[in-house]
């Protein structure tokens, strides 16, 4: 039997745009699970996960693409960019410090356990606790008591094991107290660290590492096979808003974006991502199925403000000079062939609260003359080299290498080489 499917190639680029390409093809729907979209199975390009599937440890898209399909949080961002309730029935606050959360009735994990208020509180406490060494633990920092469970000093013993700002009221209700008013906190709850965990996780974290049990629309069929991929079946216990419209997902692991692109083009893959050369040919290869829309990723150059120089007044002027020396539009036109937009905010256009007029946004303007003046006022860059760490694969590499321009360098006493060193965590 043969079924017609639409192949899509989704490209997430640095500017916050998602580009979807589609081509038609037919595939065999035999009992072979490797058939690309056999019997409604949708295949998606992924990469080998780089650690255990503990929500608070996930820092890269390798694991996130799976985690987002097997976990549901209190809230999520819908296709219009608005934050909407998912597991939460309500989240109430009068002062943006104290929040009361009520979760919906009848929510279950894939193993049949009930999702309760304690499922959230226990999960967040475990993720925040310093000795558990979770890479994304700092996302819990706004909650009162974080410093006590996760001390700043390396090697210091935590003064507490749980966040004082979290408290279970009853099976469906818990409260959150923050250290300071945070009007965006409900939006922050869309982050993947703020999901619940079943008791099965606490009973056997090691088994959970490669076969996590979530409360989302899909569940893992078996342990993740790093030599092949991950099969996700619809979760029969799921009653949330993201009901699957297929018979499951097959996340196939790749090491090359070029291979992903060719597999989509050859009807061997349904959904993938591309960058670099793929951006140059996508419109011709996919025609009117090449669709541009809002996306999430942003490319940034950040500075270590804990360094005495970068945190000083002179360091501020050098940072401003570097920012004014970067022609963002030229990078977009040259590297991303116009399929991007210059960043004007810390969030993406289309999300609630986005603005192109936040105070200080003028520092993003390309102004070579001002860059030279600021660099001169700072007395130049005082060190021998300016080392830049960046994502060294795909089009990220080209965009990062070409970002620091000659305008900032001409007034500096030394050149600024940009060695290719992968950053410790990269969200593609």
Residues 218 and 250 in one domain: yes
Residues 127 and 172 in one domain: yes
Residues 318 and 285 in one domain: no
Q: How many domains does one find in the chain?
A: 3
Domain of 242? 2-70+214-294
Residue in this structure with the two tokens 């909407």, named with its chain if needed: 84
Q: Comparing C-alpha atoms, which of 53, 81, 8, 73 is closest to residue 246?
A: 8
Q: The tokens of 402 are what? A: 């070409």
Q: The tokens of 196 are what? A: 């619940």
- What are the phi and psi torsion angles at 373 (to 5°)? -65, -45
Give the H/E segment covering residue 3: strand 2-12
Residues 58 and 118 in one domain: no
Q: Does 197 fall in a domain? A: yes
pLDDT score recorded for residue 411: 30
pLDDT in tens, 64-118: 889 999 999 999 988 877 899 999 999 999 999 999 999 999 999 999 999 999 9
Is the distance from CB of 220 to CB of 232 less than 8 angstroms? Answer: yes
Q: Does 95 fall in a domain? A: yes
At 153, which CATH number?
Answer: 3.90.76.10
pLDDT score recorded for residue 294: 65
Q: Which residues of the chain register pLDDT less than 50?
A: 1-18, 20-39, 395, 400-428
- Sequence-ordered list of residues with C-beta below 8 angstroms from that of 426, at least 6 positions apart, any chain: 60, 391, 396
For the chain, the average pLDDT equals 81
Is the distance from CB of 242 to CB of 299 less than 8 angstroms? Answer: no
pLDDT score recorded for residue 275: 66
């Amino acid at each position: 039997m043969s079924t017609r499917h639409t192949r899509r190639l989704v490209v997430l680029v640095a500017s916050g745009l998602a580009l979807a390409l589609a081509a038609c093809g037919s595939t065999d729907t035999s009992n072979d699970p490797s058939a690309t979209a056999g019997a409604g199975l949708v295949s998606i390009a992924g990469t080998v996960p780089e650690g255990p599937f503990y929500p608070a440890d996930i820092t890269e898209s390798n694991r996130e693409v799976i985690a987002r399909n097997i976990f549901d949080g209190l809230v999520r961002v819908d296709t219009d960019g608005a934050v909407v309730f998912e597991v939460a029935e309500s989240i109430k606050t009068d002062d943006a410090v104290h929040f009361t959360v009520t979760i919906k009735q009848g929510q279950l994990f894939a193993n049949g356990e009930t999702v309760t208020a304690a499922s959230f509180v226990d999960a967040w406490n475990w993720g925040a606790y310093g000795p558990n060494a979770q890479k994304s633990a700092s996302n819990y920092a706004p909650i009162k008591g974080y410093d006590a469970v996760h001390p700043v000093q390396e090697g210091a013993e935590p003064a507490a094991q749980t966040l004082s700002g979290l408290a279970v009221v009853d099976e469906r209700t818990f409260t959150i107290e923050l250290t300071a008013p945070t009007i965006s906190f409900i939006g922050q709850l869309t982050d993947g660290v703020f999901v619940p965990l079943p008791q099965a996780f606490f009973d056997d974290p090691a088994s959970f590492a490669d076969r996590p049990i979530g409360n989302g629309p899909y569940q893992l069929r078996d342990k993740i096979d790093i030599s092949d991929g991950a099969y996700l079946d619809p979760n029969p216990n799921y009653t949330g808003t993201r009901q699957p419209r297929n018979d499951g997902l097959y996340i196939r692991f790749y090491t090359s974006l070029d291979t992903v692109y060719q597999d989509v083009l050859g009807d061997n893959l349904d959904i993938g991502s591309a960058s670099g050369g793929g951006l140059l040919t996508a419109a011709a290869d996919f025609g009117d199925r090449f669709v541009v829309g809002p996306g999430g990723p942003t490319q940034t150059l950040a500075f270590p403000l804990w360094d005495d120089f970068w945190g000083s007044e002179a360091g501020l002027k050098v940072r401003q000079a570097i920012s004014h020396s970067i022609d963002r539009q030229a990078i977009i036109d040259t590297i991303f062939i116009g399929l991007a937009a210059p960043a004007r905010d810390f969030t993406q256009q289309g999300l609630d609260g986005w603005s192109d007029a936040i105070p200080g946004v003028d520092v993003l303007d390309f102004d070579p003359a001002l860059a030279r003046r600021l660099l001169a006022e700072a007395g130049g860059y005082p060190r021998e080299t300016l080392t830049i760490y960046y994502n060294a694969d795909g089009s990220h590499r080209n965009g990062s290498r070409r970002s620091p321009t000659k305008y900032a360098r001409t007034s500096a006493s030394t050149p600024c080489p940009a060695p290719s060193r992968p950053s410790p965590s990269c969200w593609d």
